[in-house]
Structure 1
């Protein structure tokens, strides 16, 4: 995907907008510190164009394996090519699993099988078409998004989910809609929270957690991406979700007042 904040900042310069549209919020670092991790966070208010970022350099310049967040791309491609008919299509693993279940639970074996069925040429075509990360597949068709071959920045992740929300990716509207439906995690009178998350292991042996998606309040979408690096021997999935919730609460979400 194109560098999202780079395009945004270029727009700020060309249109002589206030640089306050991009706010580096170091206060958010306290949530990472209290969790004993490092990382980055970004929130984009689509209505106003305001961008709140913690750890700007890591956000825009550091690339990592996308882990299960790559299931967004895999699902779109699988639906578009007919490899997967819809979110209810079952693949028999140890048990029968649908794409929707595999997506929500980040069940890697399902998407590994989908990847094998799509094949390298198809996946390479779409990685190139989307300009996704470094475009690299390498030799492992069923693990390249997990083993530090394919890498993507947090900025690119945010650009991907924003375009997904607005049907702006080069896929049919139906494919966008199915993936958005699978991403919905919470829905009530105050907000709708949609995201996908993933865990991988970096070359340094530490765990990396991603969460990318959006929160809607009063029909206004706000797009976010969390990137969190923790120690090698401690669970990181649930702490990353707790960290996301604390940050979103800090930004005034969950009460339907945004």
Structure 2
């Protein structure tokens, strides 16, 4: 998204058209991160004004981390584009391996696996896509290539989980913005279907669409993502929130959405007046 930060980000998922003149750094948001005892960053792009509001700019633009389950956005697009998964109602059967997350121990459609964020389902999807096609689409998209070095190496079904593929928050925001406008290098149908899976809240005042992610960093810290957009009066605003903590007891499952909503509420969202 931020064109001026480094030549390493001039890739397909990084948007042009941003300059220092349309970036507002809002470090007052630190109080929300402190409230939940996490560090991290946040970016909000007002599409109508072409302006960014960012907390912790250095981390937002320069620091790359595992995408975790936010990669399900890209994995879904590739699965649909290649025809490996014809539509979001397609079922992949349970492999009968009993896992700790019992909700994953069943036959499941893509939309179910996406919305409960089931790793084994998407690992099987990656294996069905295959390394050659997966690498082709990652290269085409420019995903996780800020240093132009990422290649799948015997980890086709784990590269988005094992800290080999890494993305910046800026790259994540760019991805969801292009997805919203059908600007990714996939058929419009595939992009429309993925957008549909991302829609969580839809009422008279706003629509809220997102995908979460949760994993650990190279250092063993918890890392959480929530990326997507909020629409009010048919106007989209795109966001990327990233949180990190060395404390394994911090409840990342709930604080991501709570923190996001606290920040958005501070900017007067959710009332249909934006």
Give the TM-score range, shorter chain: over 0.9
Secondary structure of 1:5's aligned partner: coil
Q: TM-score, normalised by structure 2?
A: 0.88
Distance 1:153 1:77 in 2: 21
Q: TM-score, normalised by structure 1?
A: 0.93
Distance 2:167 2:27 in 1: 23
Match for 2:127 among 112, 116, 126?
A: 116
Q: Do residues 196 (structure 1) and 195 (structure 2) align?
A: no
Q: CA deviation at 1:138?
A: 2.5
Q: Do residues 68 (structure 1) and 69 (structure 2) align?
A: yes
- For the 8 Å contact 2:79–2:125, the answer to whether it is kept is yes
Distance 1:221 1:67 in 2: 25
User: Cα 1:9–1:70, aligned 2, differ >3 Å: closer, same or farther?
Assistant: closer
| Corresponding residue of 1:168 | 183
Q: Do residues 247 (structure 1) and 266 (structure 2) align?
A: no
Question: Equivalent residues in 2 for 1:30-179 (5 A)?
Answer: 30-93=31-94, 94-134=105-145, 135-179=150-194
Deviations 1:122-158 (A, max 9, x none): 1111111111113332221111100101101110000
- For the 8 Å contact 1:191–1:255, the answer to whether it is kept is yes
Unaligned runs of 5+ in 2: 5-13, 95-104
- For the 8 Å contact 1:42–1:54, the answer to whether it is kept is yes
Distance 1:44 1:161 in 2: 11
User: Cα 1:187–1:9, aligned 2, differ >3 Å: closer, same or farther?
Assistant: closer
| Corresponding residue of 2:254 | 238
Distance 1:229 1:26 in 2: 17
Q: CA deviation at 1:233?
A: 1.5
Secondary structure of 1:64's aligned partner: coil
Secondary structure of 2:115's aligned partner: helix
Distance 1:165 1:34 in 2: 31
Secondary structure of 1:152's aligned partner: coil
Q: Do residues 187 (structure 1) and 210 (structure 2) align?
A: no
Secondary structure of 2:229's aligned partner: strand
Match for 1:5 among 2, 5, 15?
A: 2
- For the 8 Å contact 1:68–1:106, the answer to whether it is kept is yes
Deviations 1:37-58 (A, max 9, x none): 0000000000001110000000
User: How many residue pairs end up in the alignment?
Assistant: 250
- For the 8 Å contact 2:41–2:242, the answer to whether it is kept is yes
Distance 2:118 2:26 in 1: 34
User: Cα 1:81–1:9, aligned 2, differ >3 Å: closer, same or farther?
Assistant: closer
Distance 1:204 1:92 in 2: 35
Unaligned runs of 5+ in 1: none
Cα RMSD, aligned residues only = 1.5
